């Protein structure tokens, strides 16, 4: 167990992605990168370590495996630690096929051209499922095997054509699979807020107005609510209320004197008799003639 690096880790010159350094010094051993060996990064010092130099792994490190948190013994000043992050079945199948292809390419690099593989397709059950079964505790330490997990692998391969490519066209066999693009699965770091689905609520946008625009607005003139009441001009056609009341009272008194009492039926009034008198302009009439010429016109009461 190493507690100190044989070089000054602070003096290394790294690239922008922190994947390589100009001094070509890595790991506890201080040696360079090896294409035949995967590397793992310490979560604290960001240094890369060879697969054969670390001790905390139960299984050999896989290529492109960035789905875990590793801390070296120098940073811990004690034993190394590795904690597996939760991964989906899609990521697991992607990582396994990538390693099958990588191992086959590393082996082909050692062989003459005539002995190299013709393709990098692999059988889903004999190759992919067998690899997962062997690395189960490495890939999914907290998950138990179900009776139908093999069917899950077949479903992942057949429903994600953007990642996996079937050998039906090239090999005329549907049980063979490879990656559409030869690259490891991406380790996308998502925060809790980004991973949480947000409700689709439409909100009205508020317009923001600058302070200058507010200051340049024309001021509104406040209306005087307590305005003086308008003086009404006297109207010549209108009579004084007091005179009207006097006239109405005088009319009522005259009507009451001339009114002849009659019986009322069904709320109807009898009309007064109308007397028509005629006189000759030449001679005054005698009392008898006046009685004869007196004509009284009465109307029966309306029932």
Residue 121 has pLDDT above 80, yes or no: yes
Highest mean pLDDT among 166-170, 189-193, 221-225: 166-170
Cβ neighbors of 48 (< 8 A, separation 6 or more) are 19, 26, 27, 33, 39, 40, 41, 42
Q: Which fold has domain 1-85?
A: Herpes Virus-1 (3.30.40)
Please check whether residue 45 is in contact with residue 9, taking contact to mean a CB–CB distance below 8 angstroms.
Answer: yes
- On average, the pLDDT of the chain sits at 77
pLDDT band at 35 (very low <50, low <70, confident <90, very high): confident
The answer to whether residue 264 scores a pLDDT higher than 80 is: no
CATH of domain 89-186: 1.10.10
Instruction: Find tokens 């004084």 and name the residue.
Output: 240
| DSSP 3-state of 187 | coil
User: Quick one: pLDDT at residue 207?
Assistant: 59
DSSP letter, residue 300? P
Domains of the chain: which residue ranges?
1-85, 89-186
Short-list 137, 59, 71, CA closest to 99: 59
Overall pTM > 0.85: no
Q: Which residue has the tokens 């044989």?
A: 6
Q: How confident is the model at residue 169 (pLDDT cuts 50, 70, 90)?
A: confident
């Amino acid at each position: 167990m190493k507690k100190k690096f044989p070089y000054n880790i602070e003096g290394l010159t790294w690239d922008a992605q922190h994947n390589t350094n100009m001094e070509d010094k890595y790991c506890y051993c201080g040696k360079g990168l090896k294409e035949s060996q995967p590397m793992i990064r310490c979560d604290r010092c960001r240094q890369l370590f060879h697969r054969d130099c670390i001790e905390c792994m139960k299984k050999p490190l896989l290529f492109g495996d960035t789905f875990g948190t590793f801390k070296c013994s120098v940073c811990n000043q004690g034993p190394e630690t590795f904690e597996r992050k939760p991964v989906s079945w899609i990521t697991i199948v992607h990582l396994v096929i990538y390693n099958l292809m990588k191992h086959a390419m590393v082996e082909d690099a050692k062989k003459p051209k005539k002995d190299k593989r013709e393709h990098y397709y692999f059988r889903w059950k004999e190759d992919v499922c067998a690899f997962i079964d062997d690395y189960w505790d490495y890939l999914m330490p907290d998950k138990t095997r179900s009776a139908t997990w093999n069917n899950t692998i077949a479903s992942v391969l057949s429903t994600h054509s953007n990642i996996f490519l079937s050998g039906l066209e090239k090999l005329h066999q549907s049980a063979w699979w490879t990656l559409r693009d030869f690259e490891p699965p991406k380790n996308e770091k998502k925060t809790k807020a980004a991973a949480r689905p947000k409700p689709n609520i439409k909100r009205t946008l508020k317009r923001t107005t600058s302070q200058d625009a507010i200051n340049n607005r024309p001021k509104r003139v406040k209306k005087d609510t307590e305005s003086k009441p308008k003086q009404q001009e006297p109207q010549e056609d209108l009579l004084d209320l007091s005179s009207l009341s006097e006239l109405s009272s005088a009319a009522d008194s005259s009507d009451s004197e001339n009114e002849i009492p009659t019986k009322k039926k069904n709320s109807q009034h009898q009309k007064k008799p109308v007397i028509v008198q005629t006189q000759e302009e030449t001679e005054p009439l005698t009392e008898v003639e006046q009685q004869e010429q007196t004509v009284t016109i009465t109307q029966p009461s309306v029932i």
